[in-house]
Amino acid sequence: MLELDRLKIGYGDRVVIEELSLAIGAGEGVALRGPNGIGKSTVLRCVAGLLAPAEGVVTVDGERADERSASFRRTVAALLEAPAWYPGLSAQEHLTLVRLANAPVGAEWFAEGELAARLGVDEFADATPGSLSSGQRQRLALAMVLDRPSRLLLLDEPERHLDQAGRATVAALIDEYLAKGGAALLASHDPTVTGGCEVVELGHDWVEDE
C-alpha cells in the first residue's frame, strides 16, 4: 500500500530525514515516534504529496505521492493541520458536505452519523467552527477525515486537545479503519492511540511493538 524508499528530506542545507525506508500493507498501522523536530510531521507531509523529498521515492499503491493526482487524493485521507473551515456552516453541515462530496459511500464504510455520535460532534452539531473549543474542533476534524472513504490514513498527533476518553475513541476508530483494509501512518506519542500500531522510532534503526 505505502512504500518509502530511502527517503531524504530537508529544508535548504538542513537534512531532517535521511535514508528512511518503510513499507505498510493493507490492514497495517505504523506510528512514528521521536523528539520534537526529528521530522515526524515532515514525513507525513511528504507522504501526503505536499512536500517533495530531496532523494528517494514515496509510492501509494504503486503511484508516486502527488496531491494533484485525482486517484491519489481518492486513496489518501490526511489530517496534518487544522482544516480550512467554512465559517458559515455548522459542524453537522461540514460532515454532510464531506458525505455529499464522496457519494455514494458504500455500506462497508462508517455509517452516516456514526462518527458524529462516537466522537461527540452531536453535542455541538449546530455550532459553527469559530465558536468551538480546540478539543471540539479536533473531534470535528477527525470525524471529517474518517467520514471520507479512503485506503491510507495520515494523522499528525490525532490525540491533540482530547481527553482520555476521546483518545480511546480515536484508537478504536483507527483499529476499525485497519480492519476495513486500510493502512495508517501516524505521528503520535500517545500509547492509547498507537496501541494497535507498530512503532517506528525516528533516529533509530529498529521497530518495536508497543
Per residue in 91-142, pLDDT (tens digit) is 999 999 999 999 999 999 999 999 999 999 999 999 999 999 999 999 999 9
131/6 Cα distance (integer angstroms): 44
Instruction: Tell me: pLDDT of 43 over 50.
Output: yes
Sketch the domain layout of the chain as residue ranges.
Answer: 2-209
CATH code assigned to 2-209:
3.40.50.300
pTM above 0.85?
yes
pLDDT of residue 92: 98
Confidence of residue 207 (pLDDT cuts 50, 70, 90): very low
Strands 63-64 and 76-79 turn out to be unpaired
pLDDT of residue 206: 35
Contact 197, 30 (CB under 8 A): yes
* Cell 512514528 belongs to residue: 32
Confidence of residue 204 (pLDDT cuts 50, 70, 90): low
pLDDT of residue 82: 85
